[in-house]
């Protein structure tokens, strides 16, 4: 792998969907990604709006909260996987809580999010 600056340069201009129902975290994710040059779609807090963006927008990647207002984000993960869009699961739960593919098989990042870790893990998707 190359150095950190080169790795993060892969994010510039990328269209990233942010799916998160905790508004403060959603705004933090948006700010971190935009500061790195990403184009952020969302943040969206629910499954119907997320699916509409997955189906209707050109996306390079997504960050996906595993639990949206008590509902599993499995349908969103499946739609992303079906379209070949890589995603990173961000959750307060351990990755063992994700028992179904594609949530189980995706890279996970624990809340609270550390900005450099988020950026590095997203850059690794490319």
pLDDT, tens digit, 9 for 90 and up, residues 31-90: 999 999 999 999 999 999 999 999 999 999 999 999 999 999 999 999 999 999 999 999
> In the 8-state DSSP scheme, what is residue 95?
G
Inter-residue contact 66 to 50 (CB < 8 Å): no
Of the CATH numbers 3.40.50.2300, 3.30.365.10, 3.30.70.580, 3.40.50.360, which one belongs to the domain with range 4-124? 3.40.50.2300
Task: Give the H/E segment covering residue 122.
Answer: helix 115-124
Chain center to CA of 25:
12
**What percentage of the chain carries pLDDT values higher than 70?**
89
Domain positions in the chain are 4-124
The answer to whether the predicted template modeling score (pTM) of the entire model surpasses 0.75 is yes
Pick from 27, 89, 100: nearest CA to 64: 89
Residue 95, pLDDT > 60, answer no
């Amino acid at each position: 792998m190359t150095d950190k600056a080169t790795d993060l340069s892969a994010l510039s201009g990328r269209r990233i969907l942010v799916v998160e129902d905790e508004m403060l975290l959603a705004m933090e994710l948006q700010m971190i990604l935009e500061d790195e040059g990403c184009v952020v779609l969302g943040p969206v807090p629910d499954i119907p709006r997320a699916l509409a963006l997955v189906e209707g927008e050109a996306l390079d990647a997504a960050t996906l909260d595993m639990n949206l207002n008590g509902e599993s984000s499995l349908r969103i993960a499946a739609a992303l996987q079906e379209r070949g869009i890589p995603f990173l699961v961000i959750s307060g739960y351990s990755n063992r809580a994700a028992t179904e593919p594609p949530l189980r098989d995706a890279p996970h990042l624990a809340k609270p999010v550390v900005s450099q870790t988020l950026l590095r893990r997203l850059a690794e998707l490319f």
